[in-house]
Structure 1
Amino acid sequence: MKQFSIEDKNIFNEFFRKYPPQNSEYTFTNLYMWNHYYNLYYEIINDCLCLISQRDNITAILPPIGDELNIIRAFEVLYKRYKDEGSNTLLERFPEKLAKKISEIFCIEMELDEDNSDYVYNTSDLINLSGRKYHAKKNHVNRFKKLYNYSIETLNETNIMECLYFTEKWLQDKDIQENPGLLDEFQSIKTFFESYRYFDVKGIVIRIGGKVEAYTFGELLNPETAVIHIEKANPDIPDLYAFINQCFAEKVWSHIPYINREQDMGIPGLRRAKQSYHPVKMVYKYKGQI
């Protein structure tokens, strides 16, 4: 097992190119941003990229990346290794089809991990906001455009530190005790901005009165899907979240059929917000234990 680092980008990207993922976790950017949480190790087994997370005395196997048949063979190696060790090893973020195979072949009980399943939308729906079900969303966007003198710019090395400062202020208004995961998210954003030049992302920044009041960034997950990693906006500015959501889809991802907006992490308000945009499908993920 080798510890995951920035030098591994080409290895990971080659596997993701050859075996396009559906899970939002599986971009190099996402894994690197969140490695302070995952503490990832990897190795190549049977031509599959195998990822292990070691955190807080917990070992977790993430779904191997590779050819369908080889994935089962690679997982068998990991299964025997960790079963022989006698550790309570977790299986995390396994896509539905693979989870069912693992359950059948290895007699492992796999359960739906609803909190970490991804919301996927038609890009055209997020851009056009057509029909009755998007009527309120369209009103929010139009109202923002009328009320505010705003500017839109590309996320780049000249404004990323302003975005980080904005995020620090955004976090100060949050109840960390109620949602401690926000500290992990802030660390992931900080890691991203500090290593920005390494990542293949696109983003936009919204300024109002010259100040950064919102930003978002994402990247291609697979040839048909973009994934949105982070979206932050000043909650005191009405309709800004609706505007940046629509604006990013229109200005950057209009040529891509789908947008994956990641999971809701079981946070009730976030779940309601993601459901309110009417996903066209979900990427269901499963968890289990050896």
Structure 2
Amino acid sequence: MYIFDQRITIEDRPVLDHYLTSFEYKASGLTFTSLYMWRNINHFSWEVIGDYLCIAGISHLELENEEVFLFPPLTKTGTYDSEGLRKTILEAKRIFEEKGQKFLLRLMPFHMVDILKTAFPKELRFIDDRP
């Protein structure tokens, strides 16, 4: 199941790298090489929503479920605007639900949790998904 229309291709590298390298995500999965390498098994797809790059895929952390998830939206400016981020996440959620999928943000770098909490004060629940 692909959530967004764009697939990860070599030709997309300049666009994706702009977002992937503009902020210190400190996550090995948020590199072009990793996304490209795992693009088929994880059904990675992407779309720019507002000012943010959204990448969705299938999680294989729970092999029996294969849950669709969204990486944290990626900034192209190196900063996050709470209102813009909120709008982007809500639009991504709408797209997930339109496709009959539960909306999950996963693989969130720990240092980004406060960014999300600012955009969604007292609205999100954060759960560790890895031991």
Relative to the length of structure 1, the TM-score reads: 0.35
Written as runs of structure 1 = structure 2, the 5 A alignment for 1:68-147 is: 68-69=80-81, 70-83=84-97, 85-100=99-114, 101-102=116-117, 104-105=120-121, 107-115=123-131
The letter of the residue matching 1:111 is I
Matches of 1:64 and 1:45, distance apart in 2: 9
> 1:84 deviation in Å?
5.2
Residue in 2 that maps onto 1:204: none
Residue in 1 that maps onto 2:62: none
In the alignment, is the contact (CA less than 8 A) between 2:86 and 2:120 conserved in 1?
Answer: no
Matched, 1:37 2:46: no
Written as runs of structure 1 = structure 2, the 5 A alignment for 1:95-244 is: 95-100=109-114, 101-102=116-117, 104-105=120-121, 107-115=123-131
82-91 or 38-47: bigger deviation: 82-91
> 1:9 deviation in Å?
1.0
The letter of the residue matching 1:34 is W
Matched pairs, number: 115
> 1:89 deviation in Å?
2.9
Identify, as 1 or 2, the structure richer in strand: 1
Q: Secondary structure at the match of 1:37?
A: coil
Matches of 2:54 and 2:39, distance apart in 1: 15
Matched, 1:3 2:7: yes
Matches of 1:106 and 1:80, distance apart in 2: 20
Matches of 1:7 and 1:84, distance apart in 2: 28
In the alignment, is the contact (CA less than 8 A) between 1:38 and 1:53 conserved in 2?
Answer: yes
Q: Secondary structure at the match of 2:40?
A: helix
User: Per chain length, whose mean CA-contact separation is higher, i.e. which structure has more relative contact order (CA < 8 Å, sep 6+)?
Assistant: 1
Identify, as 1 or 2, the structure richer in helix: 1
Written as runs of structure 1 = structure 2, the 5 A alignment for 1:237-252 is: none
Structure 2 unaligned residues grouped into runs of 5+: 60-64
Percent of matched pairs sharing the same residue: 20
The counterpart of 1:63, out of the listed 58, 69, 72, is 72
Residue in 2 that maps onto 1:50: 54
Change in CA separation of 1:3 and 1:110 when aligned onto 2, cut-off 3 Å: same
Structure 1 unaligned residues grouped into runs of 5+: 116-290
Q: Secondary structure at the match of 1:107?
A: coil
Matches of 1:86 and 1:34, distance apart in 2: 24
The letter of the residue matching 1:3 is R
Matches of 1:85 and 1:106, distance apart in 2: 27
Relative to the length of structure 2, the TM-score reads: 0.70
